[in-house]
Amino acid sequence: MKKSYLADPNGFYGEFGGAYIPEILYSTVDSLREQYLPIMESEEFKSEYMSLLNDYVGRPSPLYRAARMSAKYGCELYLKREDLNHTGAHKINNTVGQILLAKRMGKKRIIAETGAGQHGVATATVCALMDMPCVVYQGALDVERQHTNVERMRMLGAEVRAVHTGNGTLKDATNEAIRDWCCHPQDTFYIIGSTVGPHPYPDIVARLQSIISKEIKEQLAQKTGRDYPDYLVACVGGGSNAAGTVYHYIDDERVKIVLAEAGGLGADSGHTAATIHAGSVGILHGSRTLVMQTPDGQIMEAESISAGLDYPGIGPMHANMAAQKRATVYAINDDEAVRAAYELTRTEGIIPALESAHAIAALGKMSFKPTDVVVLTVSGRGDKDVETYLAHKEMAGEYGRF
């Protein structure tokens, strides 16, 4: 059989993945595992999903040739503009799909976890659209730090539950969402926001985000006469925008994959979210993957200027791509990301999300031939990050003097 970097039937990517769940969730997760492919591959699902992506999310998102950035880096750089989606990022591609799955499985109630609030907003949005009750768990510290997104979720009709355990961040919110799910396994659908969690979630999320690489294929063929790039570049928190960006190219070794994880103050500094660099094999939120942990297996707190990348784990698909050397992974520090955000803003007039800025910064670590076609996914827009950018002008180098 040809080697594949996609999930095997048991949800393993090499040695990573699987479903390590409490007994009480077994039948719930098992029925999801049995039903997701027949539902997602049905014509009825595909047509409803595609019509929402087109008319509600605003797809296809443009593939934009960034002329000034291309000249600067000596390559043909194309930006995949997920920042132009409804609600401002790629996350809506996934929540639209999962709510359709939940409805078809007869679920009556939606729960989700959120860190910065982006996935919470994307989930609250589709719950408003589909008239489903929605509870979003968010760490108490994040509720405080991400006030605008909390208000957006509430306006959309979701109940935001602040989680006071642990450090009050994403990992604690996820634990609480799993606890809720254990109490209501029959009627509740848990919409997970990234390619993490027990099988089949990483595969569900990767498939729903794969619209990104499907469009890249068509758009590249149209614009360059060749349907594959030399490089794909994306940032990784849990890994969903990267999974979507690489999905249709993952087994095509002509295409090099570059992932940018959040270095925080430095991958070796102890203040980092660079899980692939600083993590080791462990089990987190139902999956065997790379995890930042103490020698005795306590999960460590992740640290990054970017709330969306601030997670001590990584999707099993990406752990495997890194272990097999299918992907090159750079840890991008906070200052490099802020500088890259200013650079894209001044060079192309696009203010990227802090998360996406990590992918831009990776360009500076690579070297290109002038004919190289590079596709970089701008996972979200930077409106939510303007205050952070302005507060850290000192990190922006020549661009910060204004």
Active site residues: 91, 113, 379
d(CA 218, CA 372): 18
* Backbone φ and ψ of 78, nearest 5°: -115, 135
Interface residue with ligand PLP, options 356, 360, 361, 362 (CB under 6 A): 356
Amino acid at 401: R
Asked if the bond preceding 22 is cis, omega within 30° of 0, the reply is: no
Q: Shortest CA distance to 177 belongs to which of 166, 189, 187, 195?
A: 189
Closer to ligand PLP by CB, 220 or 317: give it: 317
Q: Is 379 in the site for ligand PLP (CB under 6 A)?
A: yes
Q: CA of 33: how far to CAs of 30, 36, 116, 324, 396, in Å?
A: 5, 6, 29, 26, 46
| C-beta of 98 vs 240, nearer to ligand PLP | 240
Min dist CB 222 to ligand PLP, Å, is: 26
**Where in 82-101 is the site for ligand PLP (CB under 6 A)?**
89, 91
Which string of x and - marks every residue 292-311 that binds ligand PLP (by CB under 6 A)? ----------------xx--
Considering only 102, 110, 236, 274, the residue that binds ligand PLP (CB under 6 A) is: 236
Number of residues that bind ligand PLP (CB under 6 A): 19
Tell the burial category of 55 from Cβ atoms under 10 Å away from its Cβ (0-12, 13-18, 19+): exposed
Binder of ligand PLP out of 237, 279, 286, 313 (CB under 6 A):
237
* Residue found by looking up tokens 């996820």 in the block: 174
Q: Which residue is nearest to ligand PLP (CB)?
A: 380
Q: CB-based contacts of 188: which residues, under 8 Å, 6+ apart?
A: 107, 108, 109, 110, 111, 180, 181
Residue 235 touches ligand PLP, criterion: CB under 6 A? yes
Give the position of tokens 């992506």: 53
Give 21 or 351: the residue with its C-beta nearer to ligand PLP: 351
Query: Residue 120 interacts with ligand PLP (CB under 6 A)?
Result: no
Site of interaction with ligand PLP (CB under 6 A)? 89, 91, 118, 194, 235-242, 308-309, 353, 355-356, 379-380
